[in-house]
Amino acid sequence: MTGAGSLLRLIRNGEAVTRADLVRRTGLARSTVAQRLDALLAHQLVYEAGGSASTGGRPPTVLAFNQGAGVVLVADLGATHSRLVISDLAGAPLAETTFDLDIADGPEIVLAHVNEAFAGLLAEINRGAHDVRGIGVGVPGPVAFSRGEPVAPPIMPGWDGFSVPGWFASHYDAPVLVDNDVNIMALGEHWTHWRDIEHLLYVKIGTGIGCGIVAGRRIHRGAQGAAGDIGHVRLAGHDEVICRCGNIGCLEAVAGGRALASNLTAGGLHAESSRDVVTLVRAGEPQAIQAVRDAGRYLGEVLAGCVNFFNPGAIVIGGDIAEAHQQLLAGVREVIFQRSLPLATGDLRIVPSRLGDRAGAIGAAIMVIEHVLAPEAVDRAIQAGLAA
Ligand SMILES: [Zn+2]
């Protein structure tokens, strides 16, 4: 069924810019196309602009997606640092702010602060709650995506089973999507720079280590939303290291930012966080350079298995430690190309993140936009409008 929503998708993708294009693309009668276009025009999702006179006679009217037809609100919540963005319906940022807030303060305190900041940003751009088409929230822990609830997140006390959509329901009449931060980063990086590649891994190496999986251009979350948790894969030969999860020899406990910082501190340097580790690398401290390169090798050991199993076209490495990417990626590449099968590494790209700490906010906006502008969602909104 080719409803108005499918027509909108053709216009958004640039596959159709005139009524004639839509007739040709969909095989629908001209009158049917006109009727569905009227609905899109009435909802201000599409506008008509004067065409170019290329063939003489009356130029065809050009159709364009109205990316200002609403806004999406995005909160990329980290353990201690958060970024809020308002973007238009094409994902272009309109207003933005960052702040420090401990996610361990619990959902009521954190979300109240987020909501206040959203209101401030909306006022800044002369928009109101009625303009909000959707809300996206990224959190540093596992999430039951279908319910928008964090599930037993280790560093988020009070959030287990908390309904984030339920909290926002009294403030906005718009869908609320919640996902793990690494998944939205993977989506942001893929959508912005790697749309030609079908299968991609995004690895975040900060305090901990996690991996977002893009399979067939979609986020793969797994049966329980736990897919990509490579931080707790066991490395051989590290039985003396106990992980915060209770197991021994986990990748994160050996090569995560927290582990690197405490190892360097034990070796006589001063490092409290993954950012301090990067500062030491940039200062040319040999011990820190060696530690990050080794971390790359350990990460490479786990990723070599992922490459054989999943055969990604690209591995994008982000997170604080990835800012020392020359050292880190040298280690990662060395082990992956040595351990993985040649067929799987033939065209494999292993690259640093290009979006850096903006990847999550961009990905969350895309997640929401694709949800609210999905053809079925647009058709439902138009139906509801007709019924009202
Ligand atoms: Zn562990």
Query: Contact 219/363 with Cβ under 8 angstroms?
Result: no
User: In terms of Cα–Cα distance, which of 134, 216, 128 is closest to 179?
Assistant: 134
CA torsion, ordered 144, 150, 151, 155, to nearest 10 deg: 150
> Residue 209 to residues 103, 134, 182, 275, 358: CA-CA distances in angstroms?
18, 29, 9, 14, 18
CA distance 367 to 74: 10
Cα separation, 104 vs 89, in Å, equals 32
Output 109 or 154, whichever has higher pLDDT: 109
Tokens coding 386 = 């007709």
> Measuring CA to CA, which residue among 237, 280, 230, 236 is closest to residue 256?
230
State the distance from the centre of ligand 1 to the C-alpha of 211, rounded, in angstroms: 14
* Cα–ligand 1 centroid distance for 89 (angstroms): 39
3-class SS of residue 363 = helix
Output the CA 252–ligand 1 centroid distance in Å.
Answer: 7
Please tell me the distance between residue 153's alpha carbon and the centre of ligand 1 in angstroms: 13
pLDDT per position as a tens digit, 127-141:
999 999 999 999 999
pLDDT digits (tens, 9 = 90+) for 26-56: 999 999 999 999 999 999 999 998 765 555 6
Q: Kindly provide the b/e burial profile for residues 246-267, where b requires at least 16 CB atoms within 10 angstroms of the residue's own CB.
A: eeebbbbbbbbbbbbbebbeee
Give the C-alpha separation, 62 to 47, whole Å. 8
Summarised one tens digit per residue, pLDDT across range 236-287 is 999 999 998 899 999 999 999 999 999 999 999 999 999 999 999 999 999 9
Average pLDDT over residues 344-370: 95
> What backbone phi and psi angles, to 5 degrees, belong to 102?
-80, 120
> How many whole angstroms from 256 Cα to the centroid of ligand 1?
11
CA of 242 to the centre of ligand 1 (A): 8
**pLDDT 10s digits, 266-280:** 999 999 999 999 999
Among the ranges given (9-23, 51-65, 87-101, 204-218), the one the predictor scored with the smallest mean pLDDT? 51-65
Q: Which residue type, as a one-letter code, is found at position 117?
A: A
How do strand 143-144 and strand 149-150 relate by DSSP bridges? antiparallel
Give the residue ranges of DSSP H helices in 251-358.
251-255, 257-266, 274-282, 286-310, 325-339, 342-345
Mean pLDDT over 276-303 rounds to: 96
323 alpha carbon – ligand 1 mean position (Å) = 24
pLDDT at residue number 56 = 60
Confidence at residue 53, expressed as pLDDT on a 0 to 100 scale: 53
Segment 64-86, tens digit of pLDDT: 999 999 999 999 999 888 999 99
pLDDT value, residue 55:
57
pLDDT at 376 > cutoff 70:
yes
88 C-alpha to center of ligand 1: Å?
39
pLDDT of amino acid 156: 92
CA of 257 to the centre of ligand 1 (A): 14
State in Å: Cα 251 to ligand 1 middle.
7
pLDDT of residue 225: 84
Q: From 328, 296, 303, 316, select the one nearest 200 (Cα to Cα).
A: 316
Report the SS3 class of residue 197. Answer: coil
